[in-house]
Structure 1
Amino acid sequence: MESIAGYPTASNIPIVAKSMPPAQRLWGKPRERIMHLLDRSRRQRFTFLNAPAGYGKTTALADWFYSLTNAGEKAAWFAIDRRDRDSKCFWLNFHYAICTALGIDFVKSLGAVQSMARNEAILTMANEMSLSARKCGGLFIVIEGLDVIYGFETLEELLTLMLALSGNVHIILSSRVAFTKHSFPGFTIPDVALNIDYSMLALTKQEMLEYLLDAGVEQVEEPDLNLLHDKTQGWPAGTAIVMDSVDAGVSFKEAVANLSGTDPRLNEFFEFEVFSGLSQEEKDFLLKTASLGMISTRVAGYTLGDVDVDTVISSLHRRNAFFFPIDANSGEYELHPLFSQWVMKKAQILSSHEQRLLNARASRWCLRNGLATAAAKHKILASEREDIFNLVRVAYPNMTTAELMSITMFRRDIDIKELSPCFYLLAAWAYAYSAQLDELDFWLKPLHELPDELVDERLRLSLEVIKVKELCLASKFDDGIEKAHQVESHLAGKD
């Protein structure tokens, strides 16, 4: 086999920066909850830290790394990049990182294994690390970017090293992909591994408040904080974008209100950090299910037809493509709110006919499965939406487009009792357009049961117009025309 040092002398120069964590932060303080969480790795040989980009993996690990070294403990840092897909490059730099952490002469250590075959050199390194760890009371090794070498020979060699180490060596593996101890065919990782995922790294509302106050935001009103947490779901990068706006002179309230998935800064992030790394099948799946409030195998399968949705959903979840389970046991998923907005905008590249067809199929599935509000949302999206929105504006003239859209774009099914009269009106119009009279009656009934004090002239008029449509759909054209004449006088001069 090829030796570790069997390449030109110039290649024997390690890249020092790969063994250096980011500089210690100059402001703010480590998140105590996350530090305690990482401290649990002392009891495990292997820790998997998995989360999408922007969840603060590197920051948390750097804070923890400095807490170890400041306390006099032995810790090594190694950042994987694409060059490490070449195993010769990986082992040269990894060897340097370990020697630096243990205070070993790198040149002398490298020379000792130069004539060895690769596997022999790896096992020799594992033995030296285990012996050194026992002497110093433990060795912590942080390896960033495990997903970069997934599928390459380097990963198999690293796993060989890991399995040859003693329990005094603790390895923390950071990745954007959701790896666990069972993710590596052919390798049985013993013991219990610690798994830390995006949900644990997400900022709690209290942590978000502390972060804002540390950053110098003087007035943080609770409604604005709640809105920021709802929009970001605790995603640290989303909070950082709001802080960028505040630093540029925008008020915190306005910065939070303006935060959306269509922000140019997020556009670049989602495009290059998330979307571009997906397969074409995964991209098509996200675009074609963009308007689904909840994604599951059944609803996506019915909506998309002949697509292996099980495989695609599993892959998106494993990739941490901002594609999260609503309930671990339900098999139902949703996109992160900001990513969902970004995908919906990108989905506009689909033809309007294709979008309507997909939503019509989703609406039928939801109706058959008792998800009334989700069915209404998809029916709205499947219908001539602009016409429906314009008609509703007659009843609610002060409603902004953003407010109108938010009513139909909620992320999951909600309690029907919580719906506004405007949503009922939207749903009624959508089913009137599609001539589904039974469902039209379902959505008109709550409107007709509203107390008189809640029914103003505009809403009453809208109901009258829908009644005209309903009579015509039921082939009662004479009654419809008569009703239309009754309404016409009230509509004079109006759109």
Structure 2
Amino acid sequence: MPAPGTKLRVPAPRRRLVARPRVLEGVRRDAPRLVLVSAPAGFGKTTVLAQWLASTPATRAAWLSLDPADDDPRRFLTQVVAALRTVAADVGATTLAQLDGDRLPPVETLVAPLVDDVDRLPGTTVLALDDYHVVDDPAVHACVSYLLDHLPAGVTLAVATRADPPLPLPRLRVRDELVELRAADLRFTPAEASEFLTGVMGLDLTDAHVAALGARTEGWAAGLQLAALTLRGQDDVEGFVADFTGSHRFVLDYLVEEVLRRRTAEVRDFLLATSVLGQLTGPLCDALTGRGDGAGMLATLERENVFVVPLDGRRTWYRYHHLFGEALRARLTAAAPERVATLHRAAARWYAGHGDLADAVGHAVTGADTAFAADLVELGLPGLRRRREDRTLRAWLRALPEDEVRGRALLAAAAAWTRLSVGDLDGVDTWLDAAEAAP
């Protein structure tokens, strides 16, 4: 399974990035309380944050890449403490101890000790939360809001998100404690587009070609990269540039088709088969493709800039660019819908064999392998109860067919517990009856 450290490392940059001093200059001021990078997918939010942190080596960076499983106050704060401990090993002990109780203490009780801990850190520190748009729980937002309101001098919170979070942004603006980078700031200028297309991607384009592509993508980084991949080997560059029009969705569909068409059948099959995965590593890819070249294929795709993003410095774990992955999954579903479930089931068994129940359950449910998913939930019950991850337990049980839960005494009893935790006494009785009736 992915090492926990992959969520806690600043993403490794590509061999070469477009220098963007105009974007970074606005962030390089004396410790703003919040740096908010808010823009749609494909605008390079994560890359800009990583560039900013790399450009300020005197600043300690605690990085956390969020995923949907972190949308729970216990898990979120546990991950935040883990991120901060990459810069100071003794941070967060009091907060972690309070998370172990049966009832979650008030936000102030949980977060105030963490504020005190970071206040004792020397110099400047940045806590970076990437992909914050996956967070929806009001309790998590309350924790971050409290943290923002009480951050000591020398500590900055940086947030990358596709949508503005429900944080005290107006108050921070009035106090001049907020630095904002939005789509308009992140769009590539003509000079940056030229450097990317001709310098980074190595294309032989005229100034007119670069200007046309920059204008038609509106400086959208993902669009420029897709265009560059498609242009490689094009005989009619002029015609391609002239036809490169339309909405992002249709352009994306067209370019993915072009990118896939230029790959060998072996590479195309690898991309489609592994598109069901949120994270990629060689052995996991092999489990889905039935081949043994997963690690080498990922290294080749990265070397050829085919939308794989390294998640650790060792180049062991990757993910597809979100938009590219979405397009691949859509194509797989359209071309071979019967294969989708088979691939998810293979992923579920690989993750289960490597001890990652969360991903195993998710893939088993998506692959309609309900009996195996139920087995996994039963296996995970002791750990979920011990860690008080009631939200996760409720989500797993909701994902299973009700008949499957009713037919298993352990799961029906767990369902009764989840109803008790939210005060639904009628639901408790219903599920206890089901547990007694189960074989």
TM (norm. structure 2) is: 0.50
C-alpha distance in structure 1 between counterparts of 2:251 and 2:215, whole Å: 19
Where do 5+ consecutive residues of structure 1 fail to align?
1-12, 271-495
TM-superposed CA distance for 1:16, in Å, is 2.4
The aligned amino acid for 2:13 is Q
TM-superposed CA distance for 1:79, in Å, is 1.5
Where do 5+ consecutive residues of structure 2 fail to align?
257-439
CA contact (8 A) 1:181 1:189 kept: no
Q: 2:12 is matched with which residue: 23, 48, 51?
A: 23
Q: Which residue of 2 aligns with 1:99?
A: 85
- Please give the root-mean-square deviation of Cα atoms over the aligned residues, in Å: 3.3
C-alpha distance in structure 2 between counterparts of 1:102 and 1:268, whole Å: 48
C-alpha change, 1:165 and 1:108, in structure 2 (3 Å) is closer
Q: Which residue of 2 aligns with 1:51?
A: 39
TM (norm. structure 1) is: 0.45
TM-superposed CA distance for 1:103, in Å, is 4.0
Within a 5 Å distance, the mapping from 1:404-415 to structure 2 comes to: none
Q: Which residue of 2 aligns with 1:62?
A: 50
C-alpha distance in structure 1 between counterparts of 2:92 and 2:3, whole Å: 10
Q: 1:191 is matched with which residue: 157, 172, 175?
A: 175
Q: Which residue of 1 aligns with 2:158?
A: 172
The aligned amino acid for 1:220 is L
Q: 1:200 is matched with which residue: 185, 191, 199?
A: 185
Q: 2:220 is matched with which residue: 212, 232, 235?
A: 235
The aligned amino acid for 1:155 is H
C-alpha distance in structure 2 between counterparts of 1:14 and 1:28, whole Å: 26
CA contact (8 A) 2:61 2:127 kept: yes
2:144 equivalent to 1:155: no
Q: 1:83 is matched with which residue: 49, 66, 69?
A: 69
Q: Deviations over 1:114-172 (max 9, x none)?
A: 5693532311001111221xx2x111111112222145321111211221211211111
C-alpha distance in structure 2 between counterparts of 1:23 and 1:153, whole Å: 31
CA contact (8 A) 1:100 1:106 kept: no
Identity of aligned residues (%): 20
Q: Deviations over 1:364-414 (max 9, x none)?
A: xxxxxxxxxxxxxxxxxxxxxxxxxxxxxxxxxxxxxxxxxxxxxxxxxxx
C-alpha change, 1:157 and 1:111, in structure 2 (3 Å) is closer
Q: 1:253 is matched with which residue: 226, 229, 238?
A: 238
TM-superposed CA distance for 1:20, in Å, is 1.3
The aligned amino acid for 1:207 is E
C-alpha change, 1:234 and 1:265, in structure 2 (3 Å) is closer
C-alpha change, 1:167 and 1:189, in structure 2 (3 Å) is farther
Q: Deviations over 1:342-383 (max 9, x none)?
A: xxxxxxxxxxxxxxxxxxxxxxxxxxxxxxxxxxxxxxxxxx
Q: 1:32 is matched with which residue: 21, 25, 33?
A: 21
C-alpha distance in structure 2 between counterparts of 1:14 and 1:225, whole Å: 41
Q: Which residue of 1 aligns with 2:363?
A: none
Within a 5 Å distance, the mapping from 1:93-492 to structure 2 comes to: 93-104=79-90, 110-111=96-97, 117=105, 119=107, 120-132=109-121, 135=122, 137-179=123-165, 182=168, 191-192=175-176, 193-249=178-234, 252-261=237-246, 266-267=252-253
C-alpha change, 1:150 and 1:251, in structure 2 (3 Å) is farther
CA contact (8 A) 1:144 1:175 kept: yes
C-alpha change, 1:269 and 1:123, in structure 2 (3 Å) is farther
C-alpha distance in structure 2 between counterparts of 1:83 and 1:122, whole Å: 20
C-alpha distance in structure 2 between counterparts of 1:144 and 1:220, whole Å: 34
| Higher relative contact order, structure no. (Cα contacts within 8 Å, ≥ 6 residues apart) | 2
C-alpha distance in structure 2 between counterparts of 1:170 and 1:213, whole Å: 36
TM-superposed CA distance for 1:111, in Å, is 5.0
Secondary structure (helix, strand or coil) at the match of 1:27 reads coil
TM-superposed CA distance for 1:38, in Å, is 2.6
C-alpha distance in structure 2 between counterparts of 1:247 and 1:268, whole Å: 15
Larger radius of gyration: 1
TM-superposed CA distance for 1:258, in Å, is 3.6
The aligned amino acid for 1:58 is T
C-alpha distance in structure 1 between counterparts of 2:172 and 2:62, whole Å: 24
C-alpha distance in structure 2 between counterparts of 1:131 and 1:36, whole Å: 28
Q: Deviations over 1:49-68 (max 9, x none)?
A: 11111111111111222233
The aligned amino acid for 2:21 is E
TM-superposed CA distance for 1:194, in Å, is 1.4
C-alpha distance in structure 2 between counterparts of 1:21 and 1:36, whole Å: 20
C-alpha distance in structure 1 between counterparts of 2:162 and 2:255, whole Å: 14
Secondary structure (helix, strand or coil) at the match of 1:102 reads coil
C-alpha distance in structure 2 between counterparts of 1:118 and 1:99, whole Å: 23
Secondary structure (helix, strand or coil) at the match of 1:38 reads coil
C-alpha change, 1:180 and 1:107, in structure 2 (3 Å) is closer
